[in-house]
Amino acid sequence: SQQGEEDPQALSIQEGENATMNCSYKTSINNLQWYRQNSGRGLVHLILIRSNEREKHSGRLRVTLDTSKKSSSLLITASRAADTASYFCATDFLTSGTYKYIFGTGTRLKVLA
C-alpha cells in the first residue's frame, strides 16, 4: 500500500479562503515534500520539510510536520483560482540501502472565483 494517505480527497473553497490538506505516512522518513499537479500534467515542487523540522513557510504556503503522529499538513492562505490543482505529499525513506520516494493519494483542490 502507499506510504502516504491524504485527506480530504477533494476540497472546494471560495477564493480568498484558506485551504488545508493533510498527509499521513507509515514509516520513518527523512524528508517530506509537497507537489502540485495541474490537470494531468507534470508535478511542480512546492516545498520540502526535513524530518527534524516542524514548520516551514514559503510565500502563501505553510507546511507542518509531526513525526510523532507521522503526519504533515499543507496550508494555502488567501487562495486564488490559480491554486486549483491536485496536491501530493511525497516521502522519502531509506530501505535496503537506497532511498525510495512514495507519493500520497492526493487532494484535489478547487478554488471558486
Partner 1 sequence: KAGVTQTPRYLIKTRGQQVTLSCSPISGHRSVSWYQQTPGQGLQFLFEYFSETQRNKGNFPGRFSGRQFSNSRSEMNVSTLELGDSALYLCASSLDGGTVETQYFGPGTRLLVL
Non-local (6+) Cβ contacts of 62 within 8 A are 55, 56, 74, 75, 77
* Residues 63 and 76 sit within 8 Å (Cβ to Cβ): no
Pick one of 11, 43, 61, 75: the residue that binds partner 1 (CB under 8 A). 43
> Positive or negative CA dihedral for 21, 27, 33, 39?
negative
User: Please, which residue, 33 or 84, has the CB nearer to partner 1?
Assistant: 33
Least separation, in Å, of the C-beta of 91 and partner 1?
10
- Nearest approach in angstroms of CB 89 to partner 1 is 11
From the CB of 52, what's the least distance to partner 1, in Å? Answer: 11
Does residue 98 touch partner 1 according to CB under 8 A? Answer: yes
Q: CA separation (Å) from 82 to 22, 56, 90, 101, 111?
A: 20, 22, 22, 27, 8
Q: Contacting partner 1 (CB under 8 A), which of 7, 27, 28, 44?
A: 44
Rounded Cα gap, residues 113 and 109, in angstroms = 13
* 102 scored as a contact of partner 1 (CB under 8 A): yes
> Where does this chain bind partner 1 (CB under 8 A)?
2, 30-31, 33, 35, 40-45, 48, 50, 88, 92, 94, 98-106
